[in-house]
Amino acid sequence: MKLVIFFLALLVASLLTVSLGFCMRKESMGPELQYPFITSAAELPQLFPKTIEEIERWTTDYTGQVTQAVDALIAISASQRTFDNTARALDDITSLSQLVIRGNGMHIVEYVHPDEAMRNAAHEAVIKLQDFWIDTIAANKKVYAAFKDYYEGAYKTEKLTDEQRYFIEESMRDFKRVGLHLPDEQLAQVKELTKQLAVLSQQFERNIAEDMGKKHITVSKDGLLGLDDDFIGSLKRTDDGNYILGVDYPTYFNVIKNCRVEQTRKDLYHAFGNVAYPENEILLKEVIAKRDELAHLLGFESYADYDIDNQMAKTVSRVEDFLGGLMLRLKPKAQQEIARLTAELPESVSLTNDGLVKPWDLSFIINEYKKKHYALDDRKIAEYFPTQHTIDQLLDVYRQFLNIDFEISPIKNLWHEDVQLVKVLTRDGNQLGYLLLDIYPRPGKYSHAAQATIFPGVIRDGKRTNTVSLLMANFPKPMGDKPALMMRMDASTFFHEFGHAMHAMLGATDMAAFSGISVKRDFVEMPSQMLEDWLYDKAILKKITYHYQTGEPLPDDIIDSLIELKNFTTGIELQRQGLLAILSLDYFKPGMTKDPYGILKEQFETLIDGQQFDPEYRLYATFGHLMGAYGAKYYGYLWSKVFALDLFDTIKKHGLLNGQIGQKYIDAVLSKGGSKDPNDLLVDFLGRQPNDTAFLRDLGLD
């Protein structure tokens, strides 16, 4: 949904909990790995290749550097191994080497570059680097043996910090999770499957991005009833004068919420729900089969069991108990919400013969209900969220709560003129790093919203590197005389993704593998989801809103209605989140052969109340979280939301702009990155075990 961590790090993430990182100037790895500090904004463009030739050169040059560094690490005799020359050396190679950061840059080019040839070249390079990392690090028994020599030798007597010991224990556990303890024949199978899965995952996500930029429907002017003139005027047209509606998020949500013509909503819903189909259905079936085979080789009953084994939840059964209990509690609320919404249907909407809501009508019904009963129109509310002003004010919220400062400016020599630069500093002027903003849609660009750490914050000898991150989104662009206006949902998305970026900025650690957002996957959404709730506070909404014509903040009556409606449709919304979480489990439970469509249909009809299942719906083909870092762990959004609201409830008692409680939050949670068990971080901040009281109250279920 919101977070992407790019792939080179994921290749070794099961070996070490690796974050993405650029490299720094450093001598301990030998002359072949001397890294340039990023000390100024002028140096940022060097992180991203400019030509196809540069992509090819980076791939060759930096794989050679890493090979030399790995060979040097392996060559150390067992009796001479120390934390620095073995554990830290491996951390540097897998999190701070030139190859890692150049790979990050290439992967970002694949997702955001406007030129298709550059995207294709970057894609091919990333596939090559995937194979290289698997052979050289992730499935290299000699690396494991070197680390094991240290673990069984000097580790027992060396004086280390708690973070360093946690790194060693987590690393040894993860070495075994990738099969390095297996006989050579089995390890070779693991290695080959891992390579194949890396390619399939990359292609799955690429298919989504490419198809989102191409898929569309065409309609006549009569098919756009209910949409405003500025939006209609911004649409491209066919040669015969019809209007082109793409499936990019700004277009899709505007149409599905506001268009009064059912056929238009239906056709666009079908286009949106079939992005990357049938290609990704074929790929998903291959991924399911290969992940199941991989899990068995590694000693697990299923890929879901393997994927959750090292998370906060630990077991599939615990996740199922959590989701099952939540879905049971949500059911009566969702039924009540559907009954209320369908009691007075808007014109152009009818129920099925079975009394169910057609899926392309649901958002329109909700929007019309809010307009009728609460005088809430998302398009009118958007007039109070001019994009640049909203961003400026949201940054000021972070500025006060987290005791940091920002400087925003344009930046040249990157992939597109829309990219902005945010310099992040402490209150006393010490620089934490740089954040790049790329927030408007383009053909071929990554289609969701995401934050990616490019250069991790690392503290060595009392000094820290500059963190570099990218925040991608697809917010509405200016239309006619109107400036770019955010939907309120867009503001929430920005706040969420910026929360990840701040976790990356403030989570500088000794071990680069633990920096920032490199935490357990079912905890990573906690900080960002917690910050979303700031946007339901009246004082915060008054602060950040500004009508683009009058300069007035959002009126009190609208704010009161928004707060009153906070949990108005939480039953419906979280049933869908629960469906996604359960699908991600079901697809990766035991069994090599699965019917993605059949599972989707069965679970939809079991879990979702009052809504028709559309036979043409292929949600799984565009469900990017099934690949990469999430896999079977999509439950993490709901799981971490429980903790997020517990922390928010505690913070709100002190004040949402209170820098003192903000600093406590930084010290206890954000600054630790992944260097400590998340369960302990929660207790450190709360002073008690977390609970679900605030979560259930927020959903209207207490």
Give residue for tokens 């079912």. Answer: 522
Please say whether the beta carbons of 469 and 428 come within 8 A: no
φ, ψ of residue 606 in degrees (nearest 5)? -85, -40
DSSP letter, residue 426: E
Measured CA to CA, the distance from residue 114 to residue 415 in angstroms comes to 7
DSSP 442: -
Full DSSP string of 347-393:
TT----TTSPBPTTTHHHHHHHHHHHHH---HHHHHTT-BHHHHHHH
- Is 221 exposed, middle or buried (CB count within 10 Å of its CB: 0-12, 13-18, 19+)? exposed
From 203, 552, 540, select the one nearest 398 (Cα to Cα): 540
- On whether the CB atoms of residues 490 and 443 are closer than 8 A, the answer is no
- Count CB neighbours of 474 within 10 A: 22
**Is the omega angle on the peptide bond into residue 678 within 30 degrees of 0, that is, cis?**
no
C-alpha dist (Å) from residue 406 to 152, 515, 689: 47, 21, 34
Per the annotation, the verdict on 497 as an active-site residue is: yes
DSSP, residue by residue, 37-53: ---SGGGGGGGS--SHH
What angle do the packed helices 98-112 and 89-96 form, to 10 degrees?
Answer: 20
Q: Which of 107, 163, 146 is nearest to 15 (CA)?
A: 146
Set 497, 573, 602, 605: catalytic member = 497
Task: Name the burial class of residue 30, with classes exposed (0-12), middle (13-18) and buried (19+) by CB atoms within 10 angstroms of its CB.
Answer: middle
Residue with tokens 């060097």: 46
CA 456 to CA 9: how far, in whole Å? 12
3-class secondary structure, 479 = strand
CA dist list (Å): 22 to 59, 64, 122: 15, 17, 17
Beta strands in 516-649 (DSSP E): none
The residues annotated as belonging to the active site are 497
